[in-house]
Amino acid sequence: MPNQPTPWFRRRDIVIAYTFLRIVLGVNFFNHGFTRLGNIPGFAQSMVDLFQDTFIPEPLVRAPALLVPIVEFIVGFMVTLGLATQAALVTGFGLMVVLMYGVTLLQNWDTATSQLVYCLVFFILVAGNSFNDVSIDAWWRRRKTRSQHLDASQTNQPF
């Protein structure tokens, strides 16, 4: 049918959408970590208290809980800026696996549902990394490519 609209999106629009989704997730993770940095021991203790009636020994709750705010903060910072984006996203996705295990063990299904939304966003961003054109990563790639082209053109120049 000749008048049917094409189902494809323009690359520019996907890049814009990807950039904003990446930044929103990054800000969210950054602030999750940032607001907890000043009281990491208190956060860890609250996690220990939450899991006290489960089979998980206290050290296996406390150790990851001490790291969660730091990982959230760093991942959020890197994702917001688009710095080592794919590694930061995979790290954040891995954190979501650990958090999902915890909330489902507690049978906190409302939080598990919320975390599934985070996982979906991580999936979209990891899968769509080729659209990460507005980022420090992309800037470095462009700079490196330009530098390589300049080097190649200079080596081909006669003296």
Please report whether residue 3 resides in a domain: no
Please report whether residue 1 resides in a domain: no
For residue 141, give both structure tokens: 């790639």
| CA–CA gap between residue 137 and residue 124 (Å, rounded) | 18
**Per-residue pLDDT tens for 56-79?**
999 999 999 999 999 999 999 999
| CA–CA gap between residue 102 and residue 51 (Å, rounded) | 8
- Between 82-86, 109-113, 143-147, the lowest mean confidence (pLDDT) is in 143-147
Please report whether residue 60 resides in a domain: yes
Please report whether residue 84 resides in a domain: yes
Q: What is the pLDDT of residue 47?
A: 97
Could you give the dihedral angle defined by the CA atoms of residues 14, 15, 17 and 19, in that order, rounded to the nearest 10 degrees? 160
Let me know: does 6 contact 46? Beta carbons within 8 Å: no
**Residues spanned by the domain of 101:** 11-155
What's the farthest any 2 CA atoms get from each other in the chain? 77
Q: Considering only residues 34 and 159, tell me which one the structure prediction assigns the higher pLDDT.
A: 34
| pTM score | 0.85
- Between 6-10, 31-35, 118-122, 152-156, the lowest mean confidence (pLDDT) is in 152-156
Please report whether residue 5 resides in a domain: no
Please report whether residue 2 resides in a domain: no
% the chain with pLDDT above 90: 83
Residue 147's pLDDT band (cuts 50, 70, 90): confident
Please report whether residue 143 resides in a domain: yes
**Count: domains in the chain:** 1
pLDDT at 159 over 60: no
Please report whether residue 135 resides in a domain: yes
Q: What is the pLDDT of residue 101?
A: 97
